[in-house]
Structure formats: C-alpha cells, structure tokens
Amino acid sequence: MIRCPTMEPQIRYCKSSDGPSIAYWSIGVGAPIIDAGQPPTHCEMEWQLPPVRRWYERFTAHHQFVRFDTRGCGLSSRAIAEYSLDTMVNDLETVADALALEQFILMGAINSGYAAIAYAARHPERISRLILWCACSRGHEFFDDPGTRALRDMADRDWHMMTETAARSRFSWSADEHARAYASMWRAAITPEVQGKLMDSLAGVDVTSLLSEVRAPTLVLQRHDRGVNVANRIAHGIPDARVALFPGGSAAPYLEDADAVWSVIAGFLGDDPSTGRERARPEVTAVRGGMCVILFTDIVGSTELTERLGDAAFHERSRALHAALRNAIGQAGGRVVEGRVLGDGVMALFDTARTAIACAFKCHEAASHYALDLHVGIHAGDVIEEDNDVHGGAVNLAARICSASAPGEVLVSDTVRGLARTSASVTFEDRGESMLKGVADPVRLYAVQA
C-alpha cells in the first residue's frame, strides 16, 4: 500500500491588534486544534524535523491543525517592545480570529501553558477542550529551577552553548540527534536578547487564580520527572480535568513513548487512537508496480487574496474550492488522501498521464468558478515505500513543477509528455529546461494546450 507524503504547510500572516505580524499555518480538515507550541518556536523549520512532523501528522488525520509563532519567534515579527502573558494570549487570539474559528481545541506545552490556561479562562465560549503538556501555572516553578537559571545566565554569555545544552536538557541527553537539530532551529527561531525577555517575563507569571475559571474539559499530561505535584495542582484547580502521567523527563511527547501519549490524547478527543500510530496511518489504494502519476495544485497568490478578501472570506472560498477539487479528482479516477487537503494545495495520484492531464483542466475550471487561479504541475515516477513512509524524488519533483507553473497553466515533465502524447488529445508546448529548487539537474518542462 502506498501512502502519499504530506505537503509542506504554507505560511500565512495575520496582524495582532498592537502591531506585530504573526506567522501561522493550518493543515487538515475536521474539528480545529490550535497548538501554541513550545516557545521559542519556528513553525516552518520544525516541520522539517521528522519526529515533530510525524507527531503533527497524527492530528491531521482527524483535525484542522494549526501552528503559529508567537511574536519575537520564528517567522513572526522579531522586533518587539515587550513579551508577556498578555502578548502571548493576544497572539493566540489573533490566529484564531484570522481563521474565523468560533470554537476550537487548544493545546499548550511548557512555556505556552500559561497562555493556554489564561485564554481558556478568559474565553470559555471558544474552547471546546484544553490539553496541557508539561505545563506550569506559576512561572517560578519552571524558571527558578537551578538548571534553568544557569541557562538564563548562559544565554547572555554563550548563545550556542546555551541552545545545545537547553535542547539536551529538554529532550534528554540520549536524544542527541534530535537535540542537535532542535538546538539549530532554536538559534534560528529567536535571538539571545528576546530569549532573555521571554524567560524574564514568564518567570513572574502566575495563572493559578484562573484555573477555576476554565470551563472546558481538560487533559493534563505530565512526565514523572518534571513535577507530578505541579500537574496535580493544575488538575485540582480546573473543575473538569484529568491527569495522565508518563515516565521520564523528556519535554517531547513525540519521542520514545509517542504511541502511549497519542493514545491518551486520541481517547480524550474521541479520535481513533490507531489512526495516528506510526505504523497504522490511513492509506490510499496501492499503485500497481510502484509507478504513479502525481498531480499537485496550489492556489495562486493566497497571501494577497487573504489581505484583499479578509481571512474569513478567503478561508470559506478556499475550502469550497478544495471540496470541488476532490470531487473532480474522484470523478477522473484519481485518488486524494482524505484529510490531507493541506494548506492551499491538493495532491492526487493517477494511474495514467491522460487522466491526470484531463483532471488538471477540470481543476482549473473548478477554480474559475470561485474566481481563483491555480498552479498545477504533473510528474510521473516510481514511489518507494519504506518504514511506513514514501520516499523518492518523483513526488518532490511534481511539487516543484507545480510551483514553477504559471497561473492557469498545466505544466508537466518530459516523462508525462512521453506517457500522454499518443493517448491524450492535447499538444505540448516546450518550455525548455528549468532549474527547480532542490533538484540538481535541469528539468525539461512542457505546458499542456487543450
């Protein structure tokens, strides 16, 4: 069985009420979840970390999953006047409003736990469920730890050493490969100065008095070595809360015992726990012989459209288009991974180049109905399944061809042209060789003329 790989999320921006731009992405369909992450974050780079990406993919099987960078971090505005609990809550609300989410599930972890608790208490009508991972209600419970104080001092003296040490402390010294990658992302996500602001401001936060005002059913997840008493006190203060404890001290829910953590979360959300397990993800029909024709679509100028139409109007229009694209693909005999309508793009597999090309023009017709334009690219090649994942250059090349296409165009590789020129009633306009991002050699491309 062949499972389609996940497309990279598309970064969008929204502006908070006091000025900073907040970067975010949204993937999947279903009941929405906003994950406030573990600041400092970089919502683009963290997707490139395999354990993090696989963890997020568990949620997208059932949900619209949203990640964002709070101000001062990642792709959001870096120049900030202040960093506080209120600014974190404001950034969270800005993203929820940008996506026009009337109600959603909220997740907070470690440093974002304070904002998650505060937001759930201040806006009980918007939070359907609350999930807290290794969170505290009092800043000093985390930042007054001798090790954390040492890291705070190190941030001013040796930034590289601080991030390397903090990453290993956060994920355990045995997770060296992931810790190195995370430390590199950490340095890209925040400056030493803003890191200091973050730690200093959150050290004085105390949301204990807000616990009793949280009305949403709450799941408090905690590691034994990170403070059982802290978790129990949070759960005791929230009227409808339960605690789940896990061994060890790693701050990552996605390392080591990820299946056990996921099973508890899925049960709390009412999802099928097996859906998100590492070796039990949803699959699509097998492609005979490992060869498939891969079609990618992507909405043209989504950032500009969002600014012109407004987030809510664009979101409604893009969701309607995605439904129309899925319908067109299904009628053409293609296969879409349900729940994998990602960002502003759709990926589909076909058995023949002819049907993929015919469907591409149907996709453009559907887009024109909603006054939208599409990038469309098609490639064909072998896809290799290994360790319950899909590898090989064919899928990546198809995505790059899509990005290279002009609005309203169907751009294909020479491989697709060779497969379709005797069976499809179309012509191919030679666009010459192009250097595509991530592809070492030039690729000859053709625009299809109906």
- Report whether pLDDT(180) > 50: yes
For residue 437, count CB atoms less than 10 angstroms from its CB and return exposed for 0-12, middle for 13-18, buried for 19 or more.
Answer: exposed
Report all structural domains of the chain as residue ranges with CATH numbers, in order of start.
12-276 (3.40.50.1820), 288-449 (3.30.70.1230)
CB 246 within 8 Å of CB 221: yes
- Report whether pLDDT(100) > 60: yes
In whole numbers, what is the pLDDT of the chain averaged over residues? 85
pLDDT grade for 146, boundaries at 50, 70 and 90: confident
CB 273 within 8 Å of CB 262: yes
Residue 251 is predicted with a pLDDT of 86
Residue 288 is predicted with a pLDDT of 34
Predicted confidence (pLDDT) per residue in 213-254, tens digit: 999 999 999 988 877 888 889 999 999 999 998 888 888 899
Residue 266 is predicted with a pLDDT of 92
Residue 423 is predicted with a pLDDT of 66
Only one residue has tokens 């694209």, namely 325
Q: Which helix (H) or strand (E) holds 115?
A: helix 113-122
- Report whether pLDDT(190) > 50: yes
- Report whether pLDDT(92) > 90: yes
Rounded to an integer, the average pLDDT of 329-334 is: 86
- Report whether pLDDT(386) > 60: no
Instruction: Output the CA–CA distances (angstroms, integers) from residue 176 to 50, 182, 196, 371, in the order listed.
Output: 14, 10, 25, 49
Residue 430 is predicted with a pLDDT of 96
Predicted confidence (pLDDT) per residue in 410-427, tens digit: 999 999 999 887 666 889
CB 339 within 8 Å of CB 61: yes
